[in-house]
Chain A
Amino acid sequence: MLGRTANGLFWMFRYLERAENTARLLDAGLRMSLTRGTDYAEEEWASVISTIGQKANYEAKHDSYDGMTAWNFVLREKSNPTNVREMFEAVRTNARLARTTISSDVWEAVNESWMRLDELLSRPVGRGAIGDVVGTIRRAGMRVHGALDGSMLRSEAFHFARAGTFAERAESTARILDMKYYLLLPSLSYVGSSLDSGQWDQVLRSVAGAQSYSWLNAGQIDARGIVEFLVLDDRFPRSLAFCRTALRDNLAALARLHGQEGSSNELMRAADMHISDITVDQILEQGLHEFLTDFMARNAAIALAIAEDYRFQS
């Protein structure tokens, strides 16, 4: 496979994951703003905008953080260079680039989702439409992943796609947790004390983990439990540990197919140790923010090493 094509696949799935995660963030924000007062809602939307790293761009254009302004900014505003419409455009452009390595099912899933989203996002999204938009984005992700899983040969292409997915997902979960870690902090000093349940719910919803968490913890709401769940629980498909393992397995598969390991495999092993031998208490002791910062730096270094190992660029 061409290095350029591998690059296209990797980024196609990163953008797809990013679009989906952004939709979940909006979904969680929406829920918060509906169940809390106006002041609180404003704070919530500000936090959503910060999480996607667009605070400066937002505030350059808008004076306040009301819901409709915020979600339109996230979804479709041109002053936001990471708006969802453009993310999805990038998914499709990369899919076209890598067209000869993805199955028709995957391509059609991307193309149809793009057509639908492009239409939904061609005009401002009102209160009546936001639910549909968020749902469409999430379904797009599920449909493309389903097509990938069900129709693709387990060759290089598949593993580059998967590597992109999990590199992005790890980054996203870490970032959301890092944005919200201050919410968990006060309670950490009182181990066992319960959190504001709405806040708790919001963090978990942002990473689609509310349901899983409540299955596992039957109503028990505490900061330590959430950190353990999102960082170390390898049964949850968006936890850092799960994403790491999945990324490692896909990089190992690539090394096998190529008959040799590269620097990405080496970095992966080191990063793996960093997360597999640690307990939640140790993480809290060293500082969650410090832990997450280190995690994200390693994740970024692995992504760069993949590009290097497989000649993404000339």
Chain B
Amino acid sequence: MAAPSDNFDEMFDASGNTRPAYTGYCDWYDHQETSWMRQKSADCDDSFRRTGITFNVYGEDEAEERLIPFDMVPRIIGAGEWRRLTRGIEQRVRALNSFLYDLYHRQEIIRAGRVPERLFRQNEAWLPHMVGFTPPGGIYTHIVGIDLVRTGPDEWFVLEDNARTPSGVSYMLENRETMMSMFPDLFSQVPVETVSNYPRRLARSLAASAPPAFKESGRAKPTVAVLTPGIYNSAYFEHAFLADQMGAELVEGSDLRVVNGLVQMRTTSGFKPLDVLYRRVDDEFLDPLTFNPDSMLGVPGIMDVYRAGGITIANAPGTGICDDKAIYSFMPEIVEFYTGEKPLLPNVETWRCADPDSLAYVLDHLEELVVKEVHGSGGYGMLIGPTASKKEINEFRAKLKGNPENYIAQPTLSLSTCPIFTKEGLAPRHVDLRPFVLVSPSGVDITPGGLTRVALKGGSLVVNSSQGGGTKDTWVLKD
């Protein structure tokens, strides 16, 4: 079980010694029979299949529901390390929220010349309807997923901010459930922070963001619902799971209607008002009267109710602009502008192709860079220079020249690895980490853990589940 030489392995150091966070696990692992572990690996798959944790893949006729592969070796983060990470995450999330408020109000950051105006003027995620309006409690980003990558003992970077509708939290929860039912003795040997209260924390956080109309209504408890596009959506399992765990209603657009100035849902005993809507439907489908008129997924008139303080929409419409990779490239400036501090978590070095000098550099170094579309997500529409063919690079070069503002480029990072269980035993694979952050008027709440995505092919850097990546349970150790 030697460590790979060219990148940071989180379990073993260069001379093959177990790193401190993993000693408890490795002690346990060394006492297990390999054949028993193989059996457990198959049991894990069965367990996921039984619970029905699947995601739908667009454009595949057969097997329309797929299982995300699960690896049973946990990804482990020490208590001190986690504390440092959370400070950086909290700082970043607060800055994101202040940035959104500013962008939809006085735009001080643009007046100060720290970010260019074109950044949002040409951005489809920018919503003029939100200008001058303050969402309940001033919160835009109720739920955020910050994607982190690691390259060394203390080298963590933010790879992406997911403020639109971050998904994957159900995997964080189910991965832990599966691990606890498969290896109960392991958890009695290694003290791990719990993640299972995330749905309660989410419910509390959403309830704390109730709109003014609720506060005037005299009702005891705000009604919270999860808005899903329906059972054919790729993340439907997660929508149902979260609603179930929170004790919230799971609604579709067709269940909702504006009645007496409030958004109400059609229950078995008539229409009932809704206070907080955790929507998993994109902005443009939210309200056919305001946005896409053909949308069947939203609620006609909900934006008017929202602006009148009748409902809280989480995340706030117009928040998705933070997922833009051109905005991302300005995050160091954004963090500093609103917090007055240096960013605790750095960005990955990023070249903005809109800038002619950067473009020239990127075009010269395509073989060694990762180039991404500024609005892209899920690992689609990107070029990974080192693994791309000559032909792919040339095709991409043409696209890039044709529309440079649409791209940013980053160095190919030597991502950290964490072993997965294979037929031949442990083998290192590249990982990233998405912790989940809740923001409400009562504060920022980060669940100790997150979703670790892992590339299942040796050497591969692509961890996206839509492209064959898997997941791991993520442990934060107790002090």
A positions within 8 Å CB-CB of B: 1-6, 93, 96-97, 99-100, 104, 107-108, 111-112, 115, 156, 258, 310-311, 314
Nearest A residue to B246 by beta-carbon distance?
A: A100
Given contacts A4-B254, A107-B51, A115-B50, 19 further A-B contacts (CB under 8 A): A2-B249, A2-B251, A2-B255, A2-B265, A3-B266, A6-B268, A96-B52, A96-B231, A99-B241, A100-B240, A100-B243, A100-B249, A100-B250, A104-B51, A108-B50, A108-B51, A310-B268, A311-B267, A314-B266
Closest Cβ of chain A to B12, distance in Å, is 38
- The reply to whether B266 and A107 form a contact with Cβ atoms under 8 Å apart is no
* B267 with A3: CB separation less than 8 A: yes
Contact of B49 with A by CB under 8 A: yes
In contact, A111 and B243 (Cβ under 8 angstroms)? no
14 example contacts (A-B, Cβ-Cβ < 8 A) are as follows A1-B267, A2-B268, A4-B252, A93-B231, A96-B240, A100-B249, A111-B52, A112-B50, A258-B269, A310-B268, A310-B269, A311-B266, A311-B268, A314-B266
Q: Which residues of B contact A2 (CB under 8 A)?
A: 249-251, 255, 265-268
Residues 231-283 (chain B) with a chain A CB within 8 angstroms: 231, 236, 240-241, 243-244, 248-252, 254-255, 257, 265-270
CB-defined contacts of B268 to chain A, threshold 8 Å: 1-3, 6, 156, 258, 310-311
Q: Nearest residue in B to A1 (C-beta to C-beta)?
A: B268
CA distance A3 to B266 in the complex (A): 6
Q: Which residues of B contact A97 (CB under 8 A)?
A: 231
**In the assembled complex, which residues on chain A have CB atoms less than 8 Å from the CB atom of B255?**
2-4, 314
CB of A244, distance to nearest CB on chain B (Å): 22
Of residues 150 through 197 on chain B, the ones whose CB sits less than 8 Å from some CB of chain A are: none
Q: Is the CB of B270 within 8 A of A311?
A: yes
| A-B residue pairs, 7 tightest by C-beta | A99-B240, A310-B268, A100-B244, A111-B52, A100-B250, A100-B243, A3-B266
Cβ-defined contact, A99 with B266, below 8 A: no
Chain B contacts for A100, CB-based, 8 A? 240, 243-244, 248-250
Interface centre among B51, B249, B254, B268 (most CB of A within 10 A): B268
The answer on a CB contact under 8 Å between A96 and B236 is yes
The docked-state distance in angstroms from the alpha carbon of A4 to that of B249 is 11
Q: How far is the CA of A6 from the CA of B265 in the complex (A)?
A: 13
A108-B50, A111-B51, A112-B50 are known contacts. Are A4 and B266 too (CB-CB below 8 A)?
yes
In the complex the two chains form, what is the Cα distance from A240 to B172 in whole Å?
49
Distance (whole angstroms) from the CB of B42 to the closest CB of chain A: 15
**B interface residue count range (under 10 / 10 to 19 / 20 to 34 / 35 or more):** 20 to 34
How far does the alpha carbon of A236 sit from the alpha carbon of B250 in the complex, in Å?
38
**Which residue, A1, A5, A112, A156, has most C-beta atoms of chain B within 10 A?**
A5
Contacts of A5 in B (CB 8 A): 250
- For the complex, what is the distance from the CA of A1 to the CA of B231, rounded to whole Å? 18
CA distance A111 to B241 in the complex (A): 15
Q: How far is the CB of A43 from chain B (nearest CB, A)?
A: 39
Q: Is the CB of A99 within 8 A of B244?
A: yes
CB-CB under 8 A for A314 and B267, given A96-B231, A96-B240, A100-B249: no
In the complex, which residues of chain A have a beta carbon less than 8 angstroms from the beta carbon of B251? Answer: 2
Q: State A156–B50 Cα separation when bound (angstroms).
A: 26
Q: How far is the CA of A112 from the CA of B47 in the complex (A)?
A: 10
CB A277 to nearest CB in B, in angstroms, measures: 32
Closest to B265 in A: A2
CA of A6 to CA of B270, assembled, Å: 13
Closest to B52 in A: A111
Bound complex: CA of A314 vs CA of B397, how far in Å? Answer: 52
Bound CA span A293–B327, Å: 69
User: Which residues B275-317 have CB closer than 8 A to chain A?
Assistant: none
The answer for the CA separation of A207 and B355 in the assembled complex, in Å, is: 77
Shortest B91–chain A CB gap in Å is 36
Query: How far apart are A95's CB and chain B's nearest CB, in angstroms?
Result: 9
- In the bound assembly, the distance between CA atoms of A5 and B266 in angstroms comes to 10
Q: What is the bound-complex CA distance between A93 and B65, given in angstroms?
A: 12
Residues of chain B with a CB closer than 8 A to A115's CB = 49-50
Minimum CB distance partner of B249 in chain A: A2
Smallest CB-CB separation from A259: which chain B residue? B269
Please report the C-alpha to C-alpha distance between residue A108 and residue B254 in the assembled complex, in whole angstroms. Answer: 27
Residues of A within 8 A of B267 (CB): 1-3, 311
* B59 CB to nearest chain A CB (Å): 20
Query: How far apart are the CA atoms of A115 and B267 in the complex, in Å?
Result: 32
A107 neighbours in B (Cβ, 8 Å) = 51-52
CA distance A45 to B132 in the complex (A): 72
* Residue numbers in B under 8 Å from A96 (CB-CB): 52, 231, 236, 240
Give A141 to B240 CA distance when docked, in angstroms. Answer: 24
* Nearest-Cβ distance from residue A23 to partner chain B, whole angstroms: 22
Interface residues of B in 356-412 (CB under 8 A from A): none
**Contacting residues, chain A, for B49 (C-beta < 8 A):** 115
Complex formed: what's the CA distance from A2 to B268 in Å?
6
Q: How far is the CA of A31 from the CA of B254 in the complex (A)?
A: 47
Report chain A residues within 8 Å CB of B249: 2, 100
CA A45 – CA B243 in complex, angstroms? 46
CA–CA, A136 to B243, complex, Å? 32
Contacts of B270 in A (CB 8 A): 311
The CA-CA distance from A310 to B252 in the complex, in Å, is 17
Shortest beta-carbon distance from A132 to chain B in Å:
20
Cα-based distance from A79 to B243 in the complex (angstroms): 38
Q: How far is the CA of A96 from the CA of B53 in the complex (A)?
A: 11
Closest A residue by C-beta to B254: A314
Q: Smallest CB–CB gap between A111 and chain B, Å? A: 5
Q: Give the docked Cα–Cα distance between A111 and B248 (Å).
A: 22
Chain B residues closer than 8 Å to A1, beta-carbon distance? 267-268
Contacts of A258 in B (CB 8 A): 268-269
* CB closest chain-A residue, reference B242: A100
Least Cβ–Cβ distance between A212 and chain B, in angstroms: 34
Bound form: Cα–Cα A314–B257 in Å: 10
Distance in angstroms between the alpha carbons of A258 and B251 in the assembled complex: 21
Closest to A3 in B: B266
B231's nearest neighbour on chain A, judged by CB, is A96
**B252: which A residues are within 8 A, CB to CB?**
4
- CA separation between A3 and B257, bound complex, in Å? 13
Q: How far is the CB of A134 from chain B (nearest CB, A)?
A: 23
B250 & A99 in contact (Cβ 8 Å cutoff): yes
